[in-house]
Structure 1
């Protein structure tokens, strides 16, 4: 369900305060300063959820939005934001980087570190907030793309821009099961973006050639998907099934943007969420779903499910909070 926040019916003297609250509610707490003091101000946000992602479509007059260390201390929401500049331009500043955002560019920033976005004219943007816990990358890898602008003329940007723009505009049309799969796809796109923006280092003696690595990684992913229900599915078991060492397994996946253990857990959670979202009188119990997808106990399943999706399996099954 989408939430629409607009200044249209707000008295002029209250518009800016309303907008600051609306922007902080839909995104993360920030300070907002309009450009052009004394001018009438207007803004509109349509926000919602796509599975475990927060999505927002924003159109507003010129302004500067900034998130400071004080904001982060009071509200340490851990997201990576991926925005698509639909109209107008912007300047992003984070981690000492200053990037100019043109129309149709993709911009990436981290809400756990201070940043500012300056829009010198009326603008339109679409923003997706990815929970850091769903990404599963160490901070140093995430920093390779945050505080930067991604061009969309070629590479992953040319695919990601229209996908995100359409996705945010149509969030309310997806069923919970489809929304969960689309959220996972967005995360996979982001992981691919990180991998694309990472310069490969010197190949060590344990590094497989690129072609062989990709083929082996695909086989391993297929093996994981076929064996998700097995509680004994671990990195060690995966390595043994493919007659390689655990160290070599990690080398194969070092450019995949996710560890093998995290991949196994994420795929189990995705399949569990899909099954729970069916609902209805015949909906399986939480314990049955936990057992079917290889979790060691319902209590462990409930804990990691809440950590990943932000709500319990029971709430997910009944549709509460979505």
Structure 2
């Protein structure tokens, strides 16, 4: 077996001794702190069958969190997993033969409270938590909590993409976040399809070569997940009533998130992309108790707030950040920022810097 790890384009291989394995993760942690990106992968095919389960369990425990795994009786266990970790986000791609993964009450003692957004890319799977059972077919997704006892069954051989997300960051974007846990998000959901396509382009870290690009990736991923969960929060009853109108609003929001830095982003631009009239699009936002301008403004301010809070952007002037997220008028940016957050952009930056010094 060879375990591959890469950091910012450099790559090195480590043998299969336990000392080397532990050394890798110590070194990997140092790489993460220095360069803000670590990529690791593991495939079981080169391992003796008797070692596969134990090695996969150990690997997953090290790169993600502790779980127990039990392959389907009478089958040969096969799995491949690759992970990319950057500040605020972990992306895991993998495939696996039929097996049961369980995060037990004992595992919860590690204190990890992050959320897992699981997209079933092929085959079928089921998840049990909170007294609920959710069946996932091709393309379906579900949000789970690592702070709760959870069982995931890979019913057939298949592949998946999983996002490990900060609970606090996502909660700031999705009202009543807890209500969206353990609810199936169907494959035909536009935000899920856009998110899955975006994540596919991120495999291998090709779009994350600099700290600035990594922060953009984190913002895009969280915003797309928030839109998908927002559709869940609205509930099936509302979706049935609004039908196509709800789907178009969701597509509009996803397009806005993807193009939020464009200063020419307007009702006309988004309406043209959707193939609808500008007034029709405005009414969709009004039915959602919002307006087009309000939604765009909130997304731009939220992205600016995150950039001001990240040390990697500390050398960048506040005015540059404002332009980067799509503002063309600095006075309007400062007024809107203070109105929403009750402080100035510099106030947010100073608070984040002091918090970082305290943690150090």
TM-score range, shorter chain: 0.5 to 0.7
**Is 1:48 matched with 2:88?**
no
TM-score (norm 2): 0.59
The answer to which of 135-144 and 54-63 deviates more is 135-144
Deviation sequence 1:218-276 (CA, Å, 0-9, x none): 47538x74xxxxxxxxxxxxxxxxxxxxxxxxxxxxxxxxxxxx777434225x53455
Residue in 2 that maps onto 1:95 = 130
Q: 1:303 to 1:109 in 2, by over 3 A?
A: farther
**Is 1:17 matched with 2:54?**
yes
Deviation sequence 1:168-189 (CA, Å, 0-9, x none): x243442221121111111111
Q: CA deviation at 1:106?
A: 1.8
Q: 1:154 to 1:125 in 2, by over 3 A?
A: closer
Q: 1:118 to 1:276 in 2, by over 3 A?
A: farther
Query: What is the CA–CA distance in structure 1 between the aligned matches of 2:222 and 2:206, rounded to whole Å?
Result: 19
Q: CA deviation at 1:165?
A: 3.3
Structure with more helix by fraction: 2
Q: 1:85 to 1:14 in 2, by over 3 A?
A: same
Of 253, 265, 268, the match for 2:308: 268
Number of residue-to-residue matches in the alignment: 248
Q: CA deviation at 1:45?
A: 1.2
Of 167, 191, 201, the match for 1:166: 201
Residue in 1 that maps onto 2:225 = 190
Deviation sequence 1:8-61 (CA, Å, 0-9, x none): 333332211111112222332111111024x43222211112442011111222
Q: CA deviation at 1:3?
A: 0.7
Give the conservation status (yes or no) of the 8 Å contact 1:50–1:171.
no
Residue in 2 that maps onto 1:294 = 346
Please give the secondary structure, in 2, of the residue aligned with 1:143: helix
Query: What is the CA–CA distance in structure 1 between the aligned matches of 2:355 and 2:62, rounded to whole Å?
Result: 26
**Is 1:33 matched with 2:70?**
yes
Residue in 2 that maps onto 1:82 = 117
Give the conservation status (yes or no) of the 8 Å contact 1:151–1:158.
no
Residue in 1 that maps onto 2:325 = none
Give the conservation status (yes or no) of the 8 Å contact 2:208–2:217.
no
Q: With CA pairs under 8 Å and 6+ residues apart, which has the higher RCO, 1 or 2?
A: 1
**Is 1:148 matched with 2:199?**
no
Query: What is the CA–CA distance in structure 1 between the aligned matches of 2:305 and 2:132, rounded to whole Å?
Result: 34
Residue in 1 that maps onto 2:290 = 213
Query: What is the CA–CA distance in structure 1 between the aligned matches of 2:355 and 2:135, rounded to whole Å?
Result: 39
Give the conservation status (yes or no) of the 8 Å contact 1:49–1:171.
no
Query: What is the CA–CA distance in structure 1 between the aligned matches of 2:290 and 2:157, rounded to whole Å?
Result: 47
Q: 1:30 to 1:3 in 2, by over 3 A?
A: same
Query: What is the CA–CA distance in structure 2 between the aligned matches of 1:56 and 1:148, rounded to whole Å?
Result: 21
**Is 1:5 matched with 2:57?**
no
Give the conservation status (yes or no) of the 8 Å contact 1:141–1:194.
no
Query: What is the CA–CA distance in structure 2 between the aligned matches of 1:124 and 1:211, rounded to whole Å?
Result: 35
The root-mean-square deviation of aligned C-alpha atoms, in Å, is 3.4
Q: CA deviation at 1:118?
A: 0.2
Give the conservation status (yes or no) of the 8 Å contact 1:26–1:56.
no
Residue in 2 that maps onto 1:253 = none
Give the conservation status (yes or no) of the 8 Å contact 1:66–1:114.
yes
Query: What is the CA–CA distance in structure 1 between the aligned matches of 2:296 and 2:173, rounded to whole Å?
Result: 25
Q: 1:46 to 1:276 in 2, by over 3 A?
A: farther
Query: What is the CA–CA distance in structure 2 between the aligned matches of 1:91 and 1:212, rounded to whole Å?
Result: 35
Deviation sequence 1:142-196 (CA, Å, 0-9, x none): 23222122112144233223223333x2434422211211111111112222322
Give the conservation status (yes or no) of the 8 Å contact 1:81–1:110.
yes
